[in-house]
Amino acid sequence: MSALPVEGPADDDVLVRVDHLVKHFPVRSSGLIRRTVAQVQAVEDVSLSIPRGKTLGLVGETGSGKSTLARCVAGLIPVTSGRVTFNGRDITNLSRRAMRPVRREIQMIFQDPYSSLNPRRRVGSIIGDPFAIHKTATGAERKRQVQELMERVGLNPEHYNRFPAEFSGGQRQRIGVARALALRPQLIICDEPVSALDVSIQAQVLNLLTDLQQDYGLTYLFIAHDLEVVRHVSDTVAVMYLGRIGESGPKGPLYESPRHPYTAALLSAAPAADPDAAAGRQRIILRGDVPSPIDPPSGCRFHPRCPKAQPLCAEAEPQLEAKAGDPATHLTACHFPVETGENLATATAATPAAGGSELI
Amino acid sequence: MSLITGLEAAAQEVGTDAAVVEGRSQWQLTWRRLRHDKVAIAALLVILVMIVLATCAPAFVAITHHPPNIAYPNTGETAAGNPVPPGTAGFWLGTDGTGRDLFIRILYGARISLFVGFVTTAIGTLAGVAVGLIAGYFGGIVDTVLARFTDAVLAFPYVVLALALAVVLGPSLTVIVGVISFFSWAAIARIVRGQTLSIKEKEYIEAARSLGAGPFRIMFLDILPNLLAPVLVLATLYIPTAVVFEATLSYLGLGIQPPTASWGDILSDAQNFYQVAWWYVVFPAAALLITTLAFNLLGDGIRDAMDPRTERVFAARRGRGQRRRQRADQPPVISSGSGVPGADLLATPEGSD
């Protein structure tokens, strides 16, 4: 897996590079002597890079390891192996002290606007936290900057002394955005920033994020399970399944002609805004559930659920590489990539692979 | 309350501006609810009166001209050498076994009791919060060591140790404060640890970490404010325990030493006279009872007021009279479908208090 999903830009244009990142969580037995009995393979050999000022959308269902990947990049949890490079500097598993200056450059926006704000602290204090922690502004100056931030993200600066509970979900997420923006970071990791919000509010927050990116030249690592949201904000998209990247590439080609059967299935399942377009397509229904990351399937991790699976898929791990006629930026980890225009829904019926076919 | 105001101030360290729209803090909401709790307010008043009386004890000495440790064999004792009853010769609550003013001695006893109560609770709470926060936040070996130590302290027969220490070190106020403090932090530490374990998994703690906040900043600015409610309730309920503990030790002769007045000492002396001088037993015992009861009731009240769900209880209580009148106007609703006799009775909302 030497190939990187995005290889186009030169190295100094790449803000974040992740090389062969692996994150395992030990499963310990209960009791006094806690032996490690298994490993949850949350992230397995993931490589990606984000060009400066661009947005990488990371898609995957619950448990695919996207949030774990984000926390590894943010340096919130130690990495099992692999490397995270930020601005050309290796920031893998830095000590808290060494990480401190890097923290100013990498900020996070969290999924849950309710639990990501301390209910006992006033909004001004929450947004002022970055200034207090990094001692960049104090007293009246801090307050002025906080109120400026509040105004920038569309909050009333007069609500400085309110508590988070007095705001709506969308407003709370704006508070989270203001906090992430406070130190003018280069990279903001958005961990499903809108999935807890109403659809109408989602658009407002997404537009705010887009505006901020233009104004401040921000780079986003944007995590979501909503494909339409990702399409709206991303330049490149990576699809994760069970800790691995299945397909990645510029959003246009990836959405137009998905190569990985999993991407194709996800896209076919996404609700379409246009009912006419929805009527003309067939949904690919996957068999079974996502297997446990403690004991992932051999070979291609997607093979037990794949409509195109062949015996080879269970044996050999497919490499992430450009497939038939794709540009070098569009990479797929699949032995039998989907052809443009191929109908997977019929492929499902034609190839009843071993086991679970009655579920279709 | 200084602990709370200090933290509140720290939490809003960015400063407040009168022009800025003010959010209602947890403490304002708690106070609003507490104000409607008549029992808690009465308890609070009793405590305040007790504190004022204890603080102003020298003023009462000035009025009665009866210093606490001076015996009045002529006016303060009957011919048989027994205590004189309340109201005699300027002794408002009578005298004790050696002819001293009982009222003044109870006031001076209150000083000791309240001092021991507040100081030991303050020490115990601070230590308990610190141990609980550190054990819960750092986890791992730190947690194992601190949590097992806490368990050991909780499992200790504390009366036995207190007695032993008092005997070995000699009874004194310092020993009493030390012993009671030592046994009061463990329960608080255990509760704080549990709460910390749950709060540290919240996303806002991760947010603080991603901002680069250090462990102590997170513990004291992000976790502690969320723990103040249970800690305050526990502390309020600990004060009476400490008061009773001090009285017990003094009663056994291992606490405050004569001639210094202490409720436990007074009660201990009084048992020789209970047949001839009821006031000698009743008044100090009542002082002890009223004080501990008031703290307990106040603690319960604060606990209820801190719980946002009790808002509904108060609202229901206020609206109950109205609802009763409404109910009388309506025909009784017979619950359909349930064949259980009396099911409709059970289904009546708030049938009794």
Q: Where are the domains of chain A?
A: 11-29+37-105+185-359
| Beta bridge partners of residue A241, listed in sequence order | A244
Burial class (CB in 10 A: 0-12, 13-18, 19+), B340: exposed
Per-residue pLDDT at B277 exceeds 70: yes
Site of tokens 């020298």? B58
Site of tokens 């090389």? A19
Instruction: Identify residue B19 by its one-letter amino acid code.
Output: A
- Look at residue A189 in the predicted model and tell me its pLDDT: 95
Is the torsion defined by CA of B179, B182, B185, B186 positive or negative?
negative
Q: Where are the domains of chain B?
A: 2-7+25-315
Structure tokens at B300: 């319960």
| Beta bridge partners of residue B77, listed in sequence order | B83
Give the sheet arrangement for strand A236-241, strand by strand.
A106-109, A187-191, A219-224, A55-59, A236-241, A244-250, A331-333, A320-322
Pair A236, A9: CB distance under 8 Å: no
- Counting runs of H as helices and runs of E as strands, what totals does chain A give? 12, 12
> For residue A153, which phi and psi values (nearest 5 degrees)?
-95, 10
- Look at residue A12 in the predicted model and tell me its pLDDT: 62
Structure tokens at B131: 């141990």
Residue A236 is inside which H or E element, if any? Answer: strand A236-241
Q: CA B144 to CA B140: how far, in whole Å?
A: 6
Pair A22, A79: CB distance under 8 Å: yes
- Look at residue A357 in the predicted model and tell me its pLDDT: 38
Confidence label for B78 from pLDDT (cuts 50, 70 and 90): confident
Q: CA B60 to CA B107: how far, in whole Å?
A: 9
Name the residue facing A103 among B13, B210, B228 (closest C-beta): B210
Judging contacts by C-beta atoms under 8 Å, the chain A residues touching residue B202 are 115
Q: CA A149 to CA B195: how far, in whole Å?
A: 33
- Look at residue A294 in the predicted model and tell me its pLDDT: 87
Neighbours of B121 (CB within 10 A): 27
Three-class SS of residue A143?
helix
DSSP A92: T
User: Mind listing the pLDDT tens digit for each residue in B214-224?
Assistant: 899 999 999 99
Give the sheet arrangement for strand A14-28, strand by strand.
A36-51, A14-28, A81-86, A89-90
Cα dist from B136 to A121, B155, B195, whole Å: 21, 20, 8
Q: CA B78 to CA B39: how far, in whole Å?
A: 41
Site of tokens 């006992």? A120
DSSP A34: -
Is the torsion defined by CA of B212, B214, B219, B220 positive or negative?
negative
Instruction: Identify residue B165 by its one-letter amino acid code.
Output: L
Check CB contact under 8 Å for B17 and A74: no
Q: CA A94 to CA A73: how far, in whole Å?
A: 11
Per-residue pLDDT at B208 exceeds 60: yes
DSSP A137: -
Q: Is B257 left (phi over 0), alpha (psi -120 to 50) or beta?
A: beta
Three-class SS of residue A219?
strand
Question: In the CATH hierarchy, which fold is given to the domain comprising B2-7+25-315?
Answer: MetI-like fold (1.10.3720)
Name the residue facing B23 among A76, A132, A162 (closest C-beta): A162
Judging contacts by C-beta atoms under 8 Å, the chain B residues touching residue A74 are 210
Closest listed residue to residue A219, CA positions, set A14, A7, A5: A14
Site of tokens 């009872």? B289
Judging contacts by C-beta atoms under 8 Å, the chain A residues touching residue B207 are 108, 110, 116-117, 176, 179
ipTM over 0.90: no
Check CB contact under 8 Å for B11 and A121: yes
Check CB contact under 8 Å for A108 and B210: yes
Burial class (CB in 10 A: 0-12, 13-18, 19+), A46: buried
Closest listed residue to residue B50, CA positions, set B146, B95, B115, B119: B115
Check CB contact under 8 Å for B20 and A108: no
- Residues in CB range of A352: below 8 A, 6 or more apart: none
Mode of pairing for the β-strands spanning A244-250 and A236-241: antiparallel
Confidence label for B97 from pLDDT (cuts 50, 70 and 90): confident
Q: CA A205 to CA B36: how far, in whole Å?
A: 42
Q: Does B201 contact chain A (CB < 8 Å)?
A: no
Mean pLDDT over B92-112 rounds to 87
Taking CA–CA distances from B216, the nearest residue in chain A reads A133
Rg of the Cα trace of chain A?
Answer: 22
Range of lowest pLDDT (A163-172, A240-249, B1-10, B231-240): B1-10
Q: Does B144 contact chain A (CB < 8 Å)?
A: no
| String of DSSP letters for A237-248 | EEEEETTEEEEE
Task: Provide block-wise average pLDDT over 10 residues at a time, chain A (360 residues).
Answer: 45 84 86 77 90 92 88 91 91 88 92 88 92 89 93 92 89 94 93 88 92 94 89 92 91 87 85 67 78 87 87 88 81 87 59 40
Closest listed residue to residue B222, CA positions, set A184, A75, A125: A125
Q: Is A183 left (phi over 0), alpha (psi -120 to 50) or beta?
A: alpha
Per-residue pLDDT at B353 exceeds 70: no
Q: CA B247 to CA B266: how far, in whole Å?
A: 9
Confidence label for B323 from pLDDT (cuts 50, 70 and 90): very low
How long a stretch of residues is chain B? Answer: 353
Three-class SS of residue A17?
strand
Instruction: Identify residue A219 by its one-letter amino acid code.
Output: T
Confidence label for B13 from pLDDT (cuts 50, 70 and 90): very low
- Look at residue B310 in the predicted model and tell me its pLDDT: 53
Confidence label for B325 from pLDDT (cuts 50, 70 and 90): very low
Nearest 10 degrees: CA dihedral of B248, B251, B257, B262? 80
Q: CA A72 to CA A191: how far, in whole Å?
A: 12
Mode of pairing for the β-strands spanning A187-191 and A219-224: parallel
User: Mind listing the pLDDT tens digit for each residue in A12-55?
Assistant: 688 999 999 999 998 887 766 777 788 888 998 999 999 999 99
Taking CA–CA distances from A124, the nearest residue in chain B reads B14
Check CB contact under 8 Å for B12 and A124: yes
- pTM, to two decimals: 0.76
Structure tokens at B195: 């709460």
Interface of A with B in 221-280 (CB under 8 A): none
- Look at residue A32 in the predicted model and tell me its pLDDT: 67
B56 or A10: whose pLDDT is higher?
B56
- Site from B21, B30, B204 to mutate, A interface, most A CB atoms within 10 angstroms: B204
Pair A74, A186: CB distance under 8 Å: no
Q: Does B53 contact chain A (CB < 8 Å)?
A: no
Cis amide leading into B259 (omega within 30): yes
Mean pLDDT over B22-27 rounds to 64
Q: CA A40 to CA A98: how far, in whole Å?
A: 28
Q: CA A55 to CA A109: how far, in whole Å?
A: 14
Mean pLDDT over the full length of chain B: 79
Confidence label for B331 from pLDDT (cuts 50, 70 and 90): very low
User: Mind listing the pLDDT tens digit for each residue in A264-319?
Assistant: 888 888 776 666 766 666 778 787 788 888 888 888 889 888 888 888 888 888 88
Question: In the CATH hierarchy, which fold is given to the domain comprising A11-29+37-105+185-359?
Answer: Rossmann fold (3.40.50)
Longest dimension (CA), chain A: 70
- Site from B196, B210, B223, B306 to mutate, A interface, most A CB atoms within 10 angstroms: B210
Site of tokens 């001088």? B277
Pair B92, B103: CB distance under 8 Å: yes
- Look at residue B286 in the predicted model and tell me its pLDDT: 93
